[in-house]
């Protein structure tokens, strides 16, 4: 069992903007509490960056009271009872208490209510159903405190029922396990996820992608990915093979600042075809797809690299490729027979990553060639490409003397 930081709840209530908000939204007729992740993370001693609240007030009353207090009210999800209230520049989502009337596995038809217990019991996991009053009282209707202390993720009530209300809860079960649990997954929750897995097919690819990428940067991502694989979820998610060792090595390298798409690359990308498949399967953004392609291209190049990588080779690679992708590929393949990486190569890469040394850029532009007498047109591009190849072969120098000499040689050849 883990000791929970109840004093952190006191600190949460002392935040000036948040306390002002709660004072305005609490009186003899109405009650508003902090709910969910903010309470959970505070008890665990983790940073609280977002604070959500739940209230007995209807959305229009929230807006009226916020406006009267001089707060800004934004109807970000008014159809679901959610109003974002901005106090002293800090946003807080306030949602009217709700009860599920009808669910279809993706969305829920809800009615607004005034019962904190019913609102708590419609949520997914016990650790997400905690609420905190203005007076500092902690409300726990589902034994969430005990589960939090035990570092256990457990569905509220019957896991099958909770999952059928929204099949995304299968993914959330694994993601929250990766972030908050210490032991094996809750047996009843895992069994329900196995049984109800067909429901994932009705979800949008965007929702699946969102949860998977969050899972990949959770504290126990590597262990949980293995669990997904053992239970047949991972092959369905990725549509291809997985490289667990590469994911583990990248996770060890980027632990302080993990990037979801790079971890996905390490886990699931071996070729550019993998990047294409994942773009479609997970509805990746253009930028996410570009990163996967950059990783695939570098992986293909470095797995056929005959000579050991030294500082000069890293300089050339950094000039010609995405430095972050290069770093991830080298982390992913560390310890594999190829590529062989010298210590000075890693030092050079660290300098580029940290900004201590700028990534070299070709010191010639098309304007230089035009000024040297080359007519504007395709010929300029051809000569620049030829100059770039020479520049890469000669070590990517960027000093003025070298730039002048390179321009001279290009013009002479032209």
> Model confidence over 339-368: pLDDT tens digits?
999 999 999 999 999 999 999 999 999 999
Q: Of 145, 16, 143, give the one whose Cα is nearest residue 88.
A: 16
3-class secondary structure, 347: helix
Q: Residue 397 — very low, low, confident or very high, per pLDDT cuts 50/70/90? A: very high
The 10 Å Cβ neighbour count of residue 7 is 11
Buried b (16+ CB within 10 A) or exposed e, 41-57: bbbbeeebeebbbbbbb
Mean pLDDT of 109-135: 93
With a cut of 70, say whether residue 109 has pLDDT above it: no
Model pLDDT, residue 414 = 79
pLDDT at 374 over 70: yes
Q: Please report, rounded to a whole number, the percentage of residues in the chain having pLDDT higher than 90.
A: 93
- Answer left, alpha or beta for residue 140, where phi above 0 means left and psi between -120 and 50 means alpha: beta
Residue 389 has pLDDT above 60, yes or no: yes
* Exposed / middle / buried, residue 209 (Cβ in 10 Å: 0-12, 13-18, 19+): buried
pLDDT of residue 236 exceeding 80: yes
Per CATH, domain 1-157 is 3.30.460.10: yes
Radius of gyration of the chain measured on its C-alpha atoms: 27
pLDDT of residue 244: 98
pLDDT of residue 110: 67
Structure tokens at 350: 């660290």
pLDDT for residue 111 is more than 80: yes
Number of alpha helices (DSSP H) and beta strands (DSSP E) in the chain: 22, 9
Higher per-residue confidence, 18 vs 105: 18
Establish how many alpha carbons lie within 13 A of residue 7's alpha carbon, considering only the half-sphere containing its beta carbon: 1
Structure tokens at 198: 């067909």
Closest CA to 407 of 358, 359, 373: 373
Q: Residue 99: pLDDT above 90?
A: no
pLDDT at 103: 61
Q: What angle do CA 36, 39, 40 make, to 5 degrees?
A: 80
Of the chain, the percentage scoring pLDDT greater than 70 comes to 97
pLDDT of the residue at 302: 97
Tokens standing for 391? 């520049």
299-323 mean pLDDT: 95
Rounded to an integer, what distance in angstroms lies between the CA atom of residue 215 and that of residue 178? 7
**CA atoms of 338 and 68, how far apart (whole Å):** 66
**Per-residue confidence at 317, pLDDT binned at 50, 70, 90?**
very high
C-alpha distance from residue 190 to each of 111, 127, 146, 299, 408 (Å):
30, 17, 19, 35, 69
Strands 98-103, 72-77: pairing kind: unpaired
Q: Are 152 and 124 in contact (CB under 8 A)?
A: no
pLDDT at 151: 97
Query: Residues 130-188: pLDDT tens digits?
Result: 999 999 999 999 999 999 999 999 999 999 999 999 999 999 999 999 999 999 999 99
Residue 359: strand, helix, or coil: coil
At 188, list the tokens: 């009843």
- Distance in angstroms (rounded) separating the CA atoms of residues 400 and 123: 64
Q: How confident is the model at residue 274 (pLDDT cuts 50, 70, 90)?
A: very high
Would you say residue 102 has pLDDT above 70?
Answer: no
Buried b (16+ CB within 10 A) or exposed e, 370-389: eeeebeeeeebeebbeebbe
Q: Grade residue 104 by pLDDT with cuts at 50, 70 and 90.
A: low
Residue 180: the pLDDT is: 97
Q: Smallest Cα–Cα separation from 116: which of 72, 163, 54? A: 54
- Tell me if the bond preceding 339 is cis, omega within 30° of 0: yes
Instruction: Look at phi and psi of residue 81 and say left if phi exceeds 0, alpha if psi is from -120 to 50, else beta.
Output: left
Q: Is 30 exposed, middle or buried (0-12, 13-18, 19+ CB in 10 A)?
A: middle
* Nearest by Cα to 321 from 303, 288, 284, 295: 295
- Domain residue limits, the chain: 1-157, 237-360, 366-413
Q: Is the pLDDT of residue 81 over 80?
A: yes
pLDDT category of residue 1 using cuts at 50, 70 and 90: low
């Amino acid at each position: 069992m883990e000791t929970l930081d109840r004093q952190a709840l006191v600190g949460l209530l002392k935040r000036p903007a948040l306390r002002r908000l709660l004072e305005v939204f609490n009186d003899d007729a109405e009650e508003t509490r902090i709910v969910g992740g903010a309470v959970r993370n505070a008890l665990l001693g983790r940073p609280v960056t977002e604070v959500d609240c739940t209230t007995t007030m209807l959305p229009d009353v929230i807006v009226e009271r916020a406006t009267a207090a001089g707060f800004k009210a934004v109807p970000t999800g008014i159809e679901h009872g959610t109003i974002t209230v901005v106090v002293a520049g800090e946003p807080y989502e306030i949602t009217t208490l709700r009860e599920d009337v009808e669910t279809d596995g993706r969305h829920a038809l809800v009615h607004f209510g005034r019962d904190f217990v019913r609102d708590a019991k419609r949520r997914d996991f016990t650790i997400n159903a905690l609420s905190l009053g203005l007076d500092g009282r902690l409300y726990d209707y589902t034994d969430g405190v005990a589960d939090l202390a035990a570092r256990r993720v457990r569905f509220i009530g019957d896991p099958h029922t909770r999952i059928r209300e929204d099949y995304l809860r299968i993914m959330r079960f694994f993601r929250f396990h990766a972030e908050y649990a210490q032991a094996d997954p809750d047996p009843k929750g895992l069994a329900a996820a196995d049984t109800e897995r067909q429901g994932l097919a009705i979800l949008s690819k965007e929702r699946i992608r969102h949860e998977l990428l969050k899972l990949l940067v959770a504290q126990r991502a590597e262990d949980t990915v293995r669990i997904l694989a053992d239970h047949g979820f991972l092959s369905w998610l990725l549509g291809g093979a997985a490289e667990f060792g590469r994911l583990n090595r990248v996770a060890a390298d980027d632990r302080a600042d993990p990037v979801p798409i790079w971890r996905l690359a390490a886990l699931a990308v071996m070729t550019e075809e993998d990047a294409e498949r994942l773009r479609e399967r997970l509805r990746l953004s253009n930028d996410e797809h570009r990163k996967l392609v950059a990783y695939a291209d570098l992986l293909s190049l470095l797995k056929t690299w005959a000579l050991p990588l030294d500082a000069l080779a890293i300089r050339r690679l950094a000039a010609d490729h995405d430095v972050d992708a290069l770093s991830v590929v080298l982390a992913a393949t560390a310890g594999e027979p190829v590529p062989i990486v010298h210590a000075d190569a890693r030092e050079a890469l660290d300098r580029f990553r940290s900004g201590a040394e700028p990534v070299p850029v070709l010191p010639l532009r098309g304007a230089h060639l035009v000024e040297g007498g080359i007519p504007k047109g395709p010929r300029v591009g051809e000569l620049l490409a030829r100059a770039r190849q020479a520049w890469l072969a000669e070590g990517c120098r960027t000093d003025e003397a070298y730039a002048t000499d390179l321009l001279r040689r290009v013009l002479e050849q032209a």
